[in-house]
Structure 1
């Protein structure tokens, strides 16, 4: 089979690679659990482990047909510094603590939210903070012809040897981009980082073809085209717009994984950035338009709260978890934010359980209620209206989507049941006429009144009124 496309999806917790026909039919998929790594004395992303897995995956795909194109997706809070074919500085792990004096000195130089749409975030979640810390550690970091390459484009560089930058990656709470100006931020210019950004291109542009070493190691054709790629949340946004239920509506998108990213795309230019409050970010889509967004680490919270017990997205327990929801509400079992300090709309709060259930099914139900409440709060912040779409891992968590449908009973809540939504979004850049093979599931509200429960949760969390 010819003309196949590979989508590489490098998440924070897991990495995935998938093989597709040009008309959007998935043929194969591999998955890798990212590990902790270190470079030059600092915690970095697992570039060696991911690369070894990617070589093996591409080799498997090469035996299934002729691959003509590869496009990468990755999260936004990372970059590499490269010089020609040399890696000068590996991407830093944004969850690693930065020295307090380094972080304080950096924050005094940041531009205002009204300029960048990028809030001051914990640890290395602002890409500028990583660059500041790297320059303190590596004084000649940007010497010579070194350039800064965002994380999705790192993989395009690794496959082709060509370094580029792309706007969705730089518009993801990096402090380096001004959405209104559609240009690097004033701070990025002052620090000399803007001048060191690799040349810009569109996410769907071809960067180059495979390096000989990759072709030889994987069996892929030397002429395989590699596209620049994009920020993962924007791939989810593109995928959502492919569905007829979403395409022509004012719809909010909730992309779920390690991060829950709630976006409400706008259809016209904004003259000022939205005041989203804590946890709010103004991302940038592939056309350079601002996208009001609210983010929190919902997947990480689920992992912490469920521990080794029953997960809310485990299909074998979904009926039991659903049945346990009313009991959790009536008993006042409740989780207060947040169990991932320094992130999201409740970044300064310390998580707590109220009336914690001992039964593992009921505990999972309480977690589903909690994540649903956080998502409802995020939707209120971005101004969600009539239509909401949930995609990603937790779109298949029945209790979570049901809770959200109850909280938003006057909205149309759709869930994407197929796992490959990000990949389809990336593929739409290569094939604009690509259509979605599956359909969305309309989630009907259960006969469960959560209005009082939500009000109590908001009050206990320090909020004065119900979300809208």
Structure 2
């Protein structure tokens, strides 16, 4: 892409919020970041939208002093949204009720009612997950907690679309965000899930617009309040993991499974046979930017890594020698060490290390990296989609992680992307689309499999032991 106008990407993650600036060639020029603060209540753990909105307005104004921003694209995680009223400029940032933190404990009576109304796996696009995950469950909780205020609301908006609305006053829904386990949208049948009509929510959910469509320019009230220029055009925006996936699709890639790594390992593939999906595992049906289904499999591997590596781990890389010893002696970490079952139903909170215990920090680190690779391959096997496996994200900082994955799947071509900001680049590809320009070049590197004696037998034994450990917990 050519031209003078710069592009801003607002990336709203669970832990941090980033504002990026890029030129039209995809070069990232500047980044500002702030914690995504959460308050304990009342009435529930909720996100601090007021502090975040002031940070966004002030930071955007400062950036505009030296970067002429032409477009802004919001992206956000898939586990929340905001119930809004008419005025996006009021003291509550338009929120009729506080935005629920998806890790907040959901009351048992709400959970019980929700389980009776949330429909089938196909309706939801996933199992019912932990705590207050899923927009539909959050809406039910709000409706039960304060029905009078709830009845006055105008819209429910996913995270990216909320910030687009706050900036422009235009309310829309978007496929990838609604299809990211909101439990409001049936991706396969392309209509609202049954709970929407059961609870009378249809009027809260705006019409769909493409992720690359123009919502409008920043509202005059915000321009005056923060000193913003008048010509920033805001796009609809998208779900964050789907934005990352989109950069591969936009580049013309086909027949692949993408595994993005971080706190969550998220595998996605358009080639998955959804008719044979194992609904009892951590599987999902997501939507791409056109609303078409994408198979997903996930596990909270980042939490597993931290628990296994232990408090003495301070970023040291895994070494080959300790890894070989771990495999030789049959030391295994059996999931799950967190509060999510992932790929092993019933395993949450039942993680354990079996066999000879790791004796050093180096051995614990090697075991943690090996566990991450095993969980990655489990997610990819669950999807069974595509002739190539592509890795990106945080785990690539560990030099042995990708070679281990390649060695564990010798029949599949394994590649990696060293792009550290795939969500942002995917959002920039949306800007390229609206401008009618070519997407950015996708650079992939082949991965050489690690040579670890006995690794294949170890992996088979680990899988059997992990299944048995989960089964005993049920």
Q: Same fold (TM over 0.5)?
A: yes
* Greater Cα shift, 332-341 or 223-232: 332-341
Given that residues 153 and 165 in structure 1 are in contact (C-alpha distance below 8 angstroms), is that contact kept between their aligned partners in structure 2?
A: yes
**Deviations 1:197-248, CA, capped at 9 Å, x for gaps:** 13321111111211234434554422201111111111011122345xxx34
Deviation at 1:81, TM superposition (A): 0.4
Given that residues 96 and 153 in structure 2 are in contact (C-alpha distance below 8 angstroms), is that contact kept between their aligned partners in structure 1?
A: no
Aligned match of 1:353: 353
Call closer, same or farther: CA 1:84–1:12 in 2, change over 3 Å.
same
Q: How does 1:135-214 map to 2 (within 5 A)?
A: 135-214=143-222
**Deviations 1:146-186, CA, capped at 9 Å, x for gaps:** 21111111111222222221111111112211112211112
Deviation at 1:438, TM superposition (A): 6.2
Contiguous gaps of at least 5 residues in structure 2: 88-93, 470-474
Deviation at 1:79, TM superposition (A): 1.1
Q: Secondary structure at the match of 2:333?
A: strand
Taking the aligned partners of 2:66 and 2:14, their CA distance within structure 1 comes to: 28
Task: Quote the RMSD (CA, aligned, Å).
Answer: 2.3
Taking the aligned partners of 1:213 and 1:301, their CA distance within structure 2 comes to: 46
Aligned match of 1:386: 387
Given that residues 122 and 188 in structure 2 are in contact (C-alpha distance below 8 angstroms), is that contact kept between their aligned partners in structure 1?
A: no
Taking the aligned partners of 1:119 and 1:249, their CA distance within structure 2 comes to: 27
Given that residues 180 and 271 in structure 1 are in contact (C-alpha distance below 8 angstroms), is that contact kept between their aligned partners in structure 2?
A: no
Contiguous gaps of at least 5 residues in structure 1: none
Aligned match of 2:367: 366
Residue among 291, 295, 308 paired with 2:298: 295
Between the two proteins, the alignment pairs up a number of residues equal to: 454
Residue among 256, 259, 271 paired with 2:261: 256
Q: Secondary structure at the match of 1:97?
A: coil
Aligned match of 1:430: 431
**Deviations 1:1-28, CA, capped at 9 Å, x for gaps:** 8310011111112222211111211111
Aligned match of 2:472: none
Residue among 438, 445, 470 paired with 1:441: 445
Taking the aligned partners of 1:391 and 1:261, their CA distance within structure 2 comes to: 10
Taking the aligned partners of 1:396 and 1:206, their CA distance within structure 2 comes to: 36
Deviation at 1:45, TM superposition (A): 2.5
TM-score, structure 2 as length reference: 0.89
Given that residues 268 and 294 in structure 2 are in contact (C-alpha distance below 8 angstroms), is that contact kept between their aligned partners in structure 1?
A: yes
Deviation at 1:140, TM superposition (A): 2.0
Taking the aligned partners of 1:286 and 1:206, their CA distance within structure 2 comes to: 15
Q: Secondary structure at the match of 1:398?
A: coil
Deviation at 1:189, TM superposition (A): 1.7
Taking the aligned partners of 2:386 and 2:42, their CA distance within structure 1 comes to: 48
Taking the aligned partners of 1:271 and 1:278, their CA distance within structure 2 comes to: 13
Taking the aligned partners of 1:225 and 1:158, their CA distance within structure 2 comes to: 13
Taking the aligned partners of 1:47 and 1:357, their CA distance within structure 2 comes to: 44
Taking the aligned partners of 2:58 and 2:310, their CA distance within structure 1 comes to: 31
Deviation at 1:142, TM superposition (A): 3.0
Q: Secondary structure at the match of 1:81?
A: strand
Given that residues 14 and 31 in structure 1 are in contact (C-alpha distance below 8 angstroms), is that contact kept between their aligned partners in structure 2?
A: yes
Aligned match of 1:27: 29
Aligned match of 2:110: 102
**Deviations 1:235-263, CA, capped at 9 Å, x for gaps:** 011122345xxx34300011222221101
